[in-house]
Amino acid sequence: MNINWYPGHMKKTKESIKKNLSLVDIVYELIDARIPCSSQNPEIDIILKNKPRLIIMNKSDLADDDISERWQKYFNFKGITSVLVDCISNRGLNEVVNLSYVLTEEKRLQLAKKGIKNRPIRAMIVGIPNVGKSTLINSLSRKKGAKVSNKPGVTKKDQWIRIRKDLELLDTPGILWPKFEDKEVGLNLAFTGAIKDELLDIETLVIKLIERLSFISKACLEERYNIVVSNKSAYEILLEIGKKRGCVIRGGEIDTEKASNIVLDEFRKGIIGKITLEFPNF
């Protein structure tokens, strides 16, 4: 995964998405339910214009259910339909299909007026790296994954996957870039694994993560590691977790790198809890 986007890179991706936009009736905008704001593309409204759009809040198995509901209300208030999905258990996939029919009703009526009936709805997925685009394509198509032959105006390498008799999905997702300017956004992307770990100093990252978790999800942290968090610095908490988990090197010193990797891995897998890092202003 390459998260280093440059102006040229952004322009190229935008153009490729724009080209594919003209082929589809609806766009599935995939975001990470744990960081709904940070995982959105800053220019998404401009890129998608008035194309019917469904926000798919993926990885909902890892997010706080109550906060996910608040995010859905927030999107609803903004006039955008959203759905909670978990590609691992396939939660929400039927809803994606059903909402696709609802959101494209106008287009289907227009086609019917022109005498075009039974033309399948065409959809494409867009989203930032690692948000689950390929997994969603696989999960949606596993049900009925037959490929559809190429159509006029579609280059050879573009393939359509038939999801149902009347719904087709472009098999090439549109890769969008996240916001880079905001430090908080960068941290959220790093916490959730959207930025390659090799690019990061894991201990510094985990200190920041513990700071955040002590604030928004203290009980989860205390319960998972059987520790008391209050009145301790994030570094002290990390040392305590390391001690509890036997991350000790010769001389009794705590191996903070090992402890950091445990915390990060357990956070990303949802073992510390179902935790959402961003809240809607709503």
Per CB under 6 A, residues contacting ligand G4P are 58-59, 61-62, 86-88, 127, 129-135, 193
Are the CB atoms for 72 and 45 separated by under 8 Å? no
Short-list 84, 126, 121, CA closest to 103? 121
The answer on whether 270 is annotated among ligand-binding residues is: no
The answer on whether 174 is annotated among ligand-binding residues is: yes
The nearest distance, CB 203 to ligand G4P, in angstroms, is: 20
Nearest to ligand G4P of 122, 133 (CB atom): 133
The answer on whether 107 is annotated among ligand-binding residues is: no
The answer on whether 193 is annotated among ligand-binding residues is: no
Short-list 115, 127, 103, 107, CA closest to 47? 127
Nearest to ligand G4P of 43, 106 (CB atom): 43
Nearest to ligand G4P of 120, 270 (CB atom): 270
Nearest to ligand G4P of 193, 280 (CB atom): 193
| Burial 45-81, CB ≥16 within 10 A → b, else e | eebbeeebbbbbbbbbbbbbeebbeebbebbeeeeee
Q: Hey, CA dihedral for 63, 64, 67, 68, is it positive or negative?
A: positive
Q: For residue 264, which phi and psi values (nearest 5 degrees)? A: -65, -45
The nearest distance, CB 197 to ligand G4P, in angstroms, is: 9
The nearest distance, CB 163 to ligand G4P, in angstroms, is: 17
Rg of the chain, C-alpha, whole Å: 21
Distance of CA 213 to the CA centre of its chain: 20
The answer on whether 134 is annotated among ligand-binding residues is: yes
Tokens 């709503």 found at: 282
Q: Which two tokens mark 164? A: 């149902």
The CB-nearest residue to ligand G4P is 132
The nearest distance, CB 200 to ligand G4P, in angstroms, is: 14
The answer on whether 12 is annotated among ligand-binding residues is: no
Nearest to ligand G4P of 142, 151 (CB atom): 142
Q: Give the residue ranges of the annotated binding site.
A: 58-61, 130-135, 174
Q: Give the residue ranges of the annotated binding site for GTP.
A: 58-61, 130-135, 174
